Chains A and B, each alone.
Chain A
Amino acid sequence: METVTEKRNETQLKRMKSKVDLADLGPVLALLILIIIGSILSPVFLTKGNLLNILTQISVLGLGAIGMTYVVIGRFFDLSVAGMLSLSAVLIVGFQPFLGTIGAIFAVILVALVVGLINGSILRFIKGDFGASIMITFGTGTILASLALLYTGGFTLNPERDTVFTWFGNGSFLGIPAPIVTLIFFSIILHVVLKYTTFGRAIYLTGANHEAARLSGIPIHRIRTITFMIVAVLVSIGGLIRSSQTLNASPVVGVGFELDVIAAVAIGGTSLAGGAGNISRTLVGVLIIGVLNNVFVLMGLSNYDQMMAKGLIIVAALLLDRRKELKLVRKG
């Protein structure tokens, strides 16, 4: 088992050195094909309005997915994002009357930081691995989802529609809708941090080999906790955008969100085995899901059919990911 991991790491290193990676082109190709299908299906597809519409709709998912990319690269998993999205959506609106919109946003970001800290601390305390992170965040996600329901009593809340609040979902900056601007802003930050800082490299090393990372003095538990905090904060900003887009805050808005996030990360080509992947890949995955949803609607598929299709597509993406991994092992 150990030699297999070593070989994988070696080949990964080789792959990192080569400039163009064919494996990266797969998702991009898929995206292009989808865009061609979309433009054949409907003349509306390639209009500026529709494209901006797609981008606006995927921005919440994008925020969750780029955050999850950090967690997955470190070879962990966070299923609590669904509960976090619901909770942040209702808390922002719930806090508005007491703290003002800006105060409410900061308060919810604080809540997200605490949630990430708790997830990370539990895993640290129990010395949990990949499997533990799935199970524990499944549990904490259930708690967060029920807290969202408890907070509103199951009802949908109406926000105060001041300029700050409505900007995040409906405003624009230099002619670009605010959700897209927010996603681009955070994508750039996360990309730079991942690529050019010691912290970013430490995440890769942690994911590639926990033991080696620990022995070379990297505080793997602290790094994991920070990645959990990052994803929680990004999801809470997603909750703000979602509440602002729909001008109401539903306590069940996050149901199924974790699956979309996993799908985006896996389809983009970030390996669930950890140690590899980057923000741009995930963004391609997010775009694929966005275009796919749009094409589904153009094809007239019902919500139910979309659920089925999504389940199948993720399994297919996982299989491709798995095949790549096996190939790497054999090559090495």
Chain B
Amino acid sequence: MSILKRVYSQKVLLILIGMVIFASVSSPYFLTFQNVTYLVTQLSIFGIMALAMTFVILNKEFDLSIGAVMAFSGIFMVKMIPQTGIIVAILLTLLLGVIIGLITGFLVAYLGLNSFVVTLCAMFFYNGLALSVSGGRPASAQDPVLNYISSGTFLGIPNLIVMLLILTLLADYVLRKTKYGRNVYAVGGDEQVARLTGISVRFYKISVFVISSVAAALAGILLTGMLNSASPFVGSSAALTVISAVVIGGTSLAGGEGSIPKTLMGLFILGILDNLLGLLNVHSFYQTFILGALLVFVIGWDFYARSKKQVLVAH
């Protein structure tokens, strides 16, 4: 029984392993070095945002605006490069992320608006802004530094993977070993209790939105470097994919429960699914369908399991 329970508690890992086995059986190309490197590189940009989204969801909030912020950040940076040079442009773009996060955080933490609806509005606002500033056309950016950051390698490993790895370790360390991380869990677990124990709930709510917006800005910078241009149309699926990754990994939407390794597993499940569907030539419309169905199932499961737990506690 306890073995079964232990296996069950690792169900996400089991699904991931099952998928790797299935993928390598159904396509001989799957487990080649090139494909794996390609897969992880593709994942890294959404992965950086997923790490940040873990903080947001642990705090029992949402951020639907990350795709739009990513698109706008890319456009913003490309427009800044001729005026300020690449390094300052990157720093300014990250600062833009901070400001965007502060605005969202303020609306949620101080004015008490529902983060889902606010970030939905923010999504439209920054999408409109990106389209308006760019005139609805991609803006090209040919910069050697930018290109190296996104497409270069470090000791034979693509920079994007190195960056994802470093940020993963950093996020995991912050969440598990620091006071800040523990308080993020506390605020998400029970806001009232956290407030009564003297934690500044507002500070943590704002901080997680700053983290998520800065991650989106960073993603915009990296994507621009990868594609050598910034398009106002990228990122429309980012929020759906990233939230799915976090939730599929097993981080609870009820807040206060989850971890970075879980998010990483969710991310890889989605990535492998995407890669596999691509290798098997499945149309992208089906991929959206599968993603939506997976989301409904996982969220439904999360709420269902919780309602069961509540009944147990009540008795």
Contacts and interface: CB of A to CB of B under 8 A. Distances in A.
A220 B301 CA distance: 21
Contacts, number: 118
B116 interface: yes
A305 interface: yes
A272 B117 contact: yes
B117 A311 contact: no
A132 interface: yes
A305 B286 CA distance: 32
Interface in B269-301: 283, 285-286, 288-289, 291-293, 295-296, 299-301
Contacts of B121: 259, 310-312, 314-315, 318
Contacts of A307: 124-125, 127-128, 131
B131 A256 contact: no
Contacts of A259: 120-121, 124
Interface in A286-303: 302-303
Given A308-B129, A311-B122, A128 B295 contact: no
A309 B127 CA distance: 11
B113 A315 contact: yes
A310 B121 CA distance: 8
Contacts of B113: 315, 318-319, 322
B133 to A, nearest CB: 9
Given A127-B307, A308-B124, A143 B118 contact: no
A150 B295 contact: no
Interface string B206-247: 000000000000000000000000000000000010000000
A315 B300 contact: no
B8 interface: no
Contact of A304 (B132, B253, B289): B132
Task: Tell me whether chain A's interface is mostly helix, strand or loop, or mixed.
Answer: helix
Contact of B132 (A122, A138, A272, A305): A305
Contact of A149 (B127, B285, B299): B285
A132 B298 CA distance: 12
A128 B296 CA distance: 12
A125 interface: yes
B285 A143 contact: no
Contacts of B122: 311
Interface string B105-124: 00100011110111011111
Contacts of A141: 292
A146 B111 contact: no
A20 interface: no
Contacts of A153: 285
B85 interface: no
A71 B132 CA distance: 34
A135 interface: yes
Contact of B300 (A136, A256, A312): A136
Contacts of A315: 107, 113, 118, 121
Interface string B297-314: 001110110010000000
Contacts of A309: 128
B18 interface: no
A289 B45 CA distance: 37
Interface of A: 1, 122, 125-128, 131-132, 134-136, 138-143, 145-147, 149-150, 153-154, 256, 258-259, 262, 272, 302-312, 314-315, 318-319, 322, 326
23 contacts: A1-B192, A126-B304, A134-B116, A136-B300, A138-B295, A139-B292, A142-B291, A143-B292, A146-B285, A146-B286, A147-B289, A154-B285, A262-B120, A303-B131, A304-B131, A305-B132, A307-B125, A311-B123, A312-B121, A315-B113, A315-B118, A318-B117, A322-B113
Top 10 closest pairs, chain A to chain B, by CB:
A307-B128, A142-B292, A311-B125, A308-B128, A139-B296, A143-B292, A127-B307, A126-B303, A146-B289, A304-B131
Given A256-B124, A315-B107, 17 more contacts: A1-B192, A127-B307, A128-B303, A132-B303, A134-B116, A142-B240, A142-B288, A142-B292, A143-B293, A149-B288, A304-B128, A310-B121, A310-B124, A311-B121, A311-B125, A315-B118, A322-B111
